[in-house]
């Protein structure tokens, strides 16, 4: 039997549209056609042209290869194109904001975050720590030429970066989240700070100490969230009505993985190149990611709103490791 690819594509479109948006109205406006012509296309009575398909893919942020979602052994990912220019990181922040905005448009949305490294959203709540991470990402990972040869204190970012990062954090606070950490989740950030200190990239010891103090604040923020099972906004010093669950795993996580679900809508975000991510709505890939997360959670300990002793011991150890490194660097 011949595959009806238009029907498959229309189903992908439906899964990509938030519940409060009329697909027919969006398609009619985008293609500049009547309501009758729109419904004939959505019912498969009139074939979509290649130009119309491309327009729909661009508008709804769907890869043109979206039909691969129906193939079990072919996966298409959408990526952020990062290079060694400052504009590249601006686009990265825009991408985070766009993805979170789209997630919030879907009712019943939630994120599962397997955190090999600290979720990047938390850094943005702490100005000196956020600045350090953005320096590390752009100077050391993206190798932005404009930032080479400068100390941390001397680097100047585009003014809009701080505002964009803050906006991303505020969006993240509104998404119910389940996180999985292990003993090494904080390790990479501590190693990055240590490397910059030992390499002489900090001009003043006080700058390094401020970054470390804010890193302790990040750990305490997540501890607060785990205590009550709700997200906590350190800017306002108060909880928000967004559910939060934290699991502690004894297993290696292996990679940063974020899994979004809202009813039948699902997407996987896989970390690569230190802080970048790629995403896909491929059904078969998402099935595997969901099973992997379920298995990881099943072998982890829930510490949010329960398991007080285990929770306190875990965060006490994270703070001890941070304090130990701070004392070591301060003595240098």
Q: 255, 243 in Cβ contact below 8 A?
A: no
Q: What is the pLDDT of residue 10?
A: 86
Strand ranges for the chain from DSSP E? 78-79, 110-114, 177-181, 230-233, 238-249, 257-262, 265-272, 276-280, 300-302
Q: Interhelix angle for 160-172 vs 86-104, to 10°?
A: 20
Whether the model clears a pTM of 0.85, i.e. scores above it, the answer is no
Q: Which residues contact 199 (CB under 8 A, 6 or more apart)?
A: none
pLDDT band at 279 (very low <50, low <70, confident <90, very high): confident
Beta bridge partners of 114: 180, 257
Average pLDDT over residues 26-37: 91
Residue in the structure block whose two tokens are 């996966």: 75
pLDDT digits (tens, 9 = 90+) for 65-102: 666 555 567 777 877 778 777 787 888 888 889 889 88
| pLDDT at residue 3 tops 70 | no
315: number of Cβ within 10 Å? 20
Residue in the structure block whose two tokens are 């019943």: 108
Q: Any idea which of 14-23, 161-170, 186-195 has the lowest mean pLDDT?
A: 14-23
The mean of the pLDDT values for the chain is 88
**247 versus 264: which is more confidently predicted?**
247
The span from the CA of 264 to the CA of 214, in Å, is 39
pLDDT digits (tens, 9 = 90+) for 41-51: 998 889 999 89
The span from the CA of 208 to the CA of 210, in Å, is 5
Q: 279, 77 in Cβ contact below 8 A?
A: yes
19: number of Cβ within 10 Å? 11
The dihedral built from the CA positions of residue 22, 26, 27 and 28, taken in this order, carries a sign that is positive
**195 versus 83: which is more confidently predicted?**
195
- DSSP states of 238-262: EEEEEEEEEEEESS---S-EEEEEE
In the chain, where the domains are located: 5-62, 78-331
238: number of Cβ within 10 Å? 9
pLDDT digits (tens, 9 = 90+) for 101-134: 888 888 889 999 999 999 999 999 999 999 999 9
pLDDT digits (tens, 9 = 90+) for 207-241: 999 999 999 999 999 999 999 999 999 999 999 99
Is beta strand 177-181 parallel, antiparallel or unpaired with respect to 110-114?
parallel
Residue in the structure block whose two tokens are 């990881």: 296
DSSP state of 162: H
The span from the CA of 61 to the CA of 101, in Å, is 13
Instruction: Write the CA distances from 287 to 18, 35, 72, 107, 293, integer angstroms.
Output: 21, 36, 10, 21, 10
The span from the CA of 46 to the CA of 27, in Å, is 14
């Amino acid at each position: 039997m011949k595959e009806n690819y238009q029907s498959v594509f229309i189903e992908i479109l439906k899964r990509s549209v938030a519940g409060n948006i009329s697909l027919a109205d969006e398609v009619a406006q985008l293609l500049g056609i009547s309501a009758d012509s729109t419904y004939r296309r959505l019912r498969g009575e009139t074939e979509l042209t290649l130009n119309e398909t491309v327009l729909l893919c661009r508008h709804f942020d769907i890869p043109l290869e979206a039909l691969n979602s129906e193939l079990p052994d072919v996966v298409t990912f959408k990526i952020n194109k990062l290079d060694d220019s400052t504009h590249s990181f601006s686009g990265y922040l825009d991408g985070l904001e766009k993805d979170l905005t789209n997630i919030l448009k879907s009712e019943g949305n939630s994120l599962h975050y397997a955190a090999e490294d600290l979720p990047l959203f938390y850094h943005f709540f702490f100005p000196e720590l956020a600045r350090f991470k953005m320096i590390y990402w752009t100077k050391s990972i993206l190798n932005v030429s404009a930032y080479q040869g400068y100390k941390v204190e001397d680097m100047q970012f585009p003014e809009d970066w701080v505002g964009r990062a803050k906006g991303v954090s505020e969006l993240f606070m509104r998404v119910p989240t389940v996180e999985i950490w292990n003993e090494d989740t904080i390790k990479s950030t501590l190693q990055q700070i240590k490397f910059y200190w030992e390499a002489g990239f900090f001009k003043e010891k006080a700058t390094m100490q401020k970054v470390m103090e804010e890193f302790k604040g990040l750990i305490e923020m997540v501890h607060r969230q785990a205590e009550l099972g709700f997200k906590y906004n350190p800017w306002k010093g108060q909880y928000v009505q967004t559910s939060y669950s934290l699991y502690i795993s004894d297993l290696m996580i292996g990679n940063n993985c974020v899994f979004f679900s809202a009813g039948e809508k699902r997407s996987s975000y896989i970390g690569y190149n230190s802080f970048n991510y790629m995403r896909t709505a491929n059904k078969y890939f998402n099935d595997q990611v969901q099973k992997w997360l379920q298995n990881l959670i099943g072998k982890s300990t829930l510490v949010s709103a329960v398991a007080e002793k285990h929770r306190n011991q875990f965060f006490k150890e994270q703070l001890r490791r941070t304090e130990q490194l701070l004392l070591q660097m301060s003595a240098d």
